[in-house]
Chain A
Amino acid sequence: MAELTHTIADIVRREKSRVVATLVRRLGSIDAAEEAFQEAVLAALPNWRNGLPANPAAWLTTAAKNHARDAARHQRIVDAKSPLLLEHDVAQPEATDSISDEQLRLIFTCCHPALTLDSQVALTLKVVAGLTTDEIARAFLCPEKTISQRITRAKKTIEERQLPYEVPERLQLPERLASVLAVVYLVFNEGHTTRQGPLMRLDLQAEALRLARLLCDLLPNESEVFGLFALIALSLARAETRTDEHGDLLLLSEQDRSRWDRAMIKEGLLALQRARRLGGAGNYAIQAEISACHATAPTWADTEWSRILRLYDQLLARAPSPVVALNRAVAVCMHSGPAAGLEALRALEAALASYHLFFALRADFRSRLGQDARDDYQRALSLASNESERRFLRGKIDQVN
């Protein structure tokens, strides 16, 4: 029984977004769709005890629709509330609409720029990725109440502002897609380096990968979608080796490259090829190119630093950012030596005066040149908040003393 419950939980999680997406349009709101889905899951437990249906998603959709119809009869869902999500054509969903169209609409609604970024992230993880509020709260290390409030507020905004449930028109697509990709990137980044707690949370990164893969299925001709997928896959392939057995940070130069996930690297490289074929010069695609250089280099020293430098220049030309310039300084140091690296850092101090990595990097360049790096390491330590990074910096301070 425990095993069956587990299997059902797996199916529910896997199928939730597809079923909810199908239901939202029919029932008019995310709330109604989620409620109907929950009822269907409750109905599934006793029903599936004697064997799983051939197509669990279809079973759940039908059960949810039946529930919603009964509920509507009792004026609980449809009649009592005004529709949350307005459609241009309310009558009947077109016959050609597939599940993937419904899913895409749902994603664009959850990542609507009228919602705050935090809300977009929480709503997307809940409704599209199928996580529970409790799981989201644990992933973001905040109280469950905060997350559920965020989600409630987001749904209210959708209702009040009457956000349309639709895929944006061609003209608006690039801008709206950027906002969807930003949400997925944020989920990934939150998993990559967290401000507190363990250095990485792989489950959030895996969710980001899953979301990015779903977007690849739904928007197969958008270069940046594949760029983002490649970026996530190529970073995730190396995630296991970012920390040592004590959970402490390991620099890229110190990592055991034989433990990188080759299948994942291949997946990332193939997605990157598609991004290139589709045009390929967006922010995510360029970052993925940089990540690909690292993921395929046999050693830190034997990395295509000149290529990485060119890619950073491209990135900066598109969108100047001091953090990107900081990363570029590493490539400058590897390509032309630590003196050139220090030179590249000089212009960044004002913009990055409260960023611990700036001082950690300058300390590193200085100690390579035989200069005193203690002050910089101390500054970095006073600014760092991740415990693993703090331990790393303390170790460095001990070394230079």
Chain B
Amino acid sequence: MPEFMVLIHQSEAAGATLAPREMRALLERQSAYEQKLRALAAYVDGERLRPSAEGRRVSRGEEGPRVEAGPFGEPNLEAYYVLQAGDLDAVLELVAECPMPPGAQVEVRPVMKGQFEPGKTSQKGRVFAFAVLGAAPDERSWIDVMDRIDARTHDHFPEHPFRGGVRLEAPSRGRQISSTGGRRAIFDGPFLESKEVIGGLFFMCMASLDEAVDWANNSAFVEHGALEIRELWRS
């Protein structure tokens, strides 16, 4: 059955203005939603990412690798779930109940290939998510960029620290849900020229953020695109 990745982007600035009691209520609603998803046969994987301020973005600048510290502009990827479903509509139905704080956006994208290793945070060591990003003027050339990265990298992962990963279909094959003032709107996955678009996500167990950045620096990902590195939250 096809797999879909639900990417939850949240405004960290809006989150920081929540009163602690509201924050607790939101976390509890999110946790209840997650428990519900986990209980479904359709549930494949899901993780929460530590704040973007603790993350790094590695790309190729004019004079070699460029490493930027987060935050990277709003909204930021905060969590993801992976669900099996017959079609996109079935996933959208499940996503409708997902608690969305102000400024949040949810993206649903079909998984093109690859696989997940659930329970990544139940093992020893720190696990980092690497989001593969590509910028291009239109979706066709973005797909070309992702194809190039894919061709160069698809068997270049060191075996031991690798904890699974996937490539996603282009945004036009997915949907985006925004919430404004309590109302939700679903869009066909728009391709925004101004934004770096996620083409895939993979995971590695690394001793430290520095080690993850070192690895990224020497990888082929940053020759054509960029990698955003974020530690997984044990929660």
Contacts A262-B16, A262-B23, A292-B24 given; does A217 touch B126 at CB 8 Å: yes
Task: Check if A55 sits within 8 Å of B23, measured CB to CB.
Answer: no
Whether A195 is near chain B, meaning CB under 8 Å from some CB there, is no
> How far is A273 from B28 in the complex, measured between Cα atoms in Å?
8
For A301, what are the chain B residues with a Cβ–Cβ distance below 8 Å?
Answer: none
Task: Check if B23 sits within 8 Å of A270, measured CB to CB.
Answer: no
Task: Check if B125 sits within 8 Å of A100, measured CB to CB.
Answer: yes
Task: Check if B19 sits within 8 Å of A298, measured CB to CB.
Answer: yes
Task: Check if A216 sits within 8 Å of B27, measured CB to CB.
Answer: no
Closest to B22 in A: A296
Contacts A220-B122, A263-B16, A296-B23 given; does A273 touch B234 at CB 8 Å: no
Contacts A54-B214, A100-B124 given; does A297 touch B21 at CB 8 Å: yes
Task: Check if B124 sits within 8 Å of A101, measured CB to CB.
Answer: yes
Whether A24 is near chain B, meaning CB under 8 Å from some CB there, is no
Residues 189-241 of A contacting B (Cβ, < 8 Å): 216-221, 226
Report B124-138 CB contacts with A as 1/0, cut-off 8 Å: 111000000000000
Whether A305 is near chain B, meaning CB under 8 Å from some CB there, is no
For A216, what are the chain B residues with a Cβ–Cβ distance below 8 Å?
Answer: 234
Whether B211 is near chain A, meaning CB under 8 Å from some CB there, is yes
Whether B31 is near chain A, meaning CB under 8 Å from some CB there, is yes
Whether B14 is near chain A, meaning CB under 8 Å from some CB there, is no
Residues 50-68 of A contacting B (Cβ, < 8 Å): 54-57
Contacts A270-B233, A273-B235, A274-B234 given; does A295 touch B20 at CB 8 Å: yes
> How far is A263 from B126 in the complex, measured between Cα atoms in Å?
20
> How far is A270 from B28 in the complex, measured between Cα atoms in Å?
9
Whether B155 is near chain A, meaning CB under 8 Å from some CB there, is no
Whether B51 is near chain A, meaning CB under 8 Å from some CB there, is yes
> How far is A399 from B20 in the complex, measured between Cα atoms in Å?
34
Closest to A229 in B: B234
Closest to A297 in B: B21
Chain A contact-residue range equals 20 to 34
For B31, what are the chain A residues with a Cβ–Cβ distance below 8 Å?
Answer: 273
Task: Check if B207 sits within 8 Å of A18, measured CB to CB.
Answer: yes
Residues 206-228 of B contacting A (Cβ, < 8 Å): 207-208, 210-211, 214, 217
Most chain B CB neighbours (cut-off 10 Å) among A260, A262, A266: A266
Closest to B235 in A: A270
> How far is A219 from B122 in the complex, measured between Cα atoms in Å?
8
Whether A271 is near chain B, meaning CB under 8 Å from some CB there, is yes
Task: Check if A218 sits within 8 Å of B124, measured CB to CB.
Answer: yes
Whether B179 is near chain A, meaning CB under 8 Å from some CB there, is no
For A260, what are the chain B residues with a Cβ–Cβ distance below 8 Å?
Answer: 20
Whether B194 is near chain A, meaning CB under 8 Å from some CB there, is no
Closest to A58 in B: B211
Chain B contact-residue range equals 20 to 34
> How far is A265 from B23 in the complex, measured between Cα atoms in Å?
9
Task: Check if B122 sits within 8 Å of A221, measured CB to CB.
Answer: yes
Whether B178 is near chain A, meaning CB under 8 Å from some CB there, is no
Task: Check if A98 sits within 8 Å of B16, measured CB to CB.
Answer: no
For A101, what are the chain B residues with a Cβ–Cβ distance below 8 Å?
Answer: 124
Task: Check if B24 sits within 8 Å of A296, measured CB to CB.
Answer: yes
Contacts A217-B124, A274-B235 given; does A263 touch B51 at CB 8 Å: yes
For B125, what are the chain A residues with a Cβ–Cβ distance below 8 Å?
Answer: 98, 100, 217-218
A180 to chain B, nearest CB (A): 15
> How far is A226 from B122 in the complex, measured between Cα atoms in Å?
12
> How far is A220 from B21 in the complex, measured between Cα atoms in Å?
27
Report A273-299 CB contacts with B as 1/0, cut-off 8 Å: 110000000000000000010011110
Whether A331 is near chain B, meaning CB under 8 Å from some CB there, is no
Partner of B20, one of A100, A104, A226, A296: A296
Task: Check if A262 sits within 8 Å of B214, measured CB to CB.
Answer: no
Closest to A15 in B: B208
For B11, what are the chain A residues with a Cβ–Cβ distance below 8 Å?
Answer: none
For A219, what are the chain B residues with a Cβ–Cβ distance below 8 Å?
Answer: 124
Task: Check if B207 sits within 8 Å of A99, measured CB to CB.
Answer: yes
Known: A98-B124, A220-B124, A266-B27. 6 other contacts (CB 8 A): A18-B207, A104-B124, A260-B20, A262-B20, A269-B24, A273-B31
| 18 A-B pairs (CB sep. < 8 Å) | A55-B211, A55-B214, A57-B211, A99-B207, A100-B125, A104-B124, A217-B124, A220-B121, A220-B123, A226-B234, A263-B16, A265-B23, A269-B24, A270-B27, A270-B48, A271-B235, A274-B235, A298-B21
Which chain B residues have a beta carbon within 8 Å of chain A's beta carbons? 15-16, 18-21, 23-24, 27-28, 31, 48, 51, 121-126, 207-208, 210-211, 214, 217, 233-235
Report the 8 A-B pairs with minimum CB-CB distance, sorted nearest first.
A270-B235, A296-B20, A296-B24, A296-B21, A100-B124, A100-B125, A274-B235, A54-B214
